[in-house]
Amino acid sequence: MKTAASEPVSRLVAPQDRRRPTVQVGLRTTEVIVLVLLLAFCAGPILWMVKAAVSPSSDIVAHPLSLWPSQIRFGNVSEALTSLEIGRYLLNSVYLAAGCLVVQLIISTSAGFALSVLKPRYGKVVYAMLLATLLVPATVSLVPLYLTAQHMPGLGVNLIDSYWAVWLPAGANAFNVLLVKRFFDGIPAELYEAARVDGAGPLTLLWRIVLPLSRPVLAVVSLFTLIASWKEFIWPLIAITDPQKQPIAVALPTIAKNSDQGLVIAGLLLASIPPLLLFVVFQRQVVNGVAGDTGSKG
């Protein structure tokens, strides 16, 4: 038997009013309308891209809003992989994203561990500086970033036109560092104290205690890093000028100028599949990581 306490509480509609048939019909109708609008705005472009990827170019130009192509051409996908060399650009994107992921995980976990667990004297200053960088637009730092990559301070190495020019700046992501730090703050301090009593040093704390409990937030950081590096356009366009090394996000706009529109959209579809699959596979870890579940409950 349901009680009043077990019924869903709405701030807009009182529990007494929710029992009225007219209010229930209105709420259900509103939910359906909102759901349909969300599907139209979120899934609509993806469905259109799938339809256009298997349509002739004449259909895309003459009837762009048609729900079904006049002629289905599955060969667009395979032709885009070969004639437009989409496969090579996809491999470049995979290589670029993998390097960004490794650099980002190393820097975010080490910096978050230092700020949250080791707590050096200058930790608050570094934390404030990290917060300040979140207020600076990314485009403002493009010129100094390019000059730094062109002539690395103290090394004199030119990283332009190499993947290191993209990998290293990816590690300087203040948002991910702060996200990891906040997660580490939620791990009970008693675990650290007990480990220190047993003679554990900083590396042991990080490897044996922090990292095993941090799988949810590391999954979130990994997903954010992979998707951000996969769709990044401006900085890879500036840093990587060799067409043979450019990722798919940079190469597609150039290809689209002189290529069949059906093949270009087929390339867009292929470029969209990896991030969609990543989110579908890791959506549970994303929810757990954002919720701040350290796995130490119970």
The whole-model pTM stands at: 0.80
Check residues 94 and 295 and name the one with the higher pLDDT: 94
Q: Among residues of the chain, what percentage have pLDDT more than 90? A: 26
| For range 278-285, the mean pLDDT | 77
Least confident of 12-21, 58-67, 160-169, 171-180: 12-21
Query: Do residues 236 and 246 touch, judged by C-beta distance below 8 A?
Result: yes
* pLDDT value for 245: 92
Distance, C-alpha 99 to centroid of its chain: 15
Q: Is the pLDDT of residue 111 over 70?
A: yes
pLDDT at 297: 44
- pLDDT over threshold 90, residue 4: no
- pLDDT digits 0-9 by tens, 38-47: 888 888 888 8
Instruction: Give 147-193 pLDDT, tens digit per residue.
Output: 999 988 888 889 999 999 999 988 888 899 999 999 999 888 888 88
Residue where the block lists tokens 């509103």: 30
How far apart CA 134 and CA 290 sit, in angstroms, is 19
Residues 6+ apart with CB under 8 A from 134: 174, 175, 178
Asked which of 53-62, 118-127, 191-200, 277-286 is least confident by mean pLDDT, the reply is 277-286
CB-based contact 90:270 (threshold 8 Å): yes
State yes or no: pLDDT of 298 exceeds 60. Answer: no
| Model pLDDT, residue 9 | 47
Mean pLDDT, the chain, integer: 84
Question: Does the pLDDT value for residue 7 go beyond 60?
Answer: no
Can you tell me the mean pLDDT for 221-246?
A: 91
Listed range (60-64, 129-133, 150-154, 209-213) with the worst mean pLDDT: 60-64
How large is the C-alpha radius of gyration of the chain?
Answer: 25
pLDDT of residue 249: 92
Domains belonging to the chain, first-starting first, are 15-77 (no CATH), 80-291 (1.10.3720.10)
Give CA–CA dist 190/206, Å, rounded: 15
Reply yes or no on whether the pLDDT at 2 is more than 50.
no
Share of the chain above pLDDT 70, in %: 89
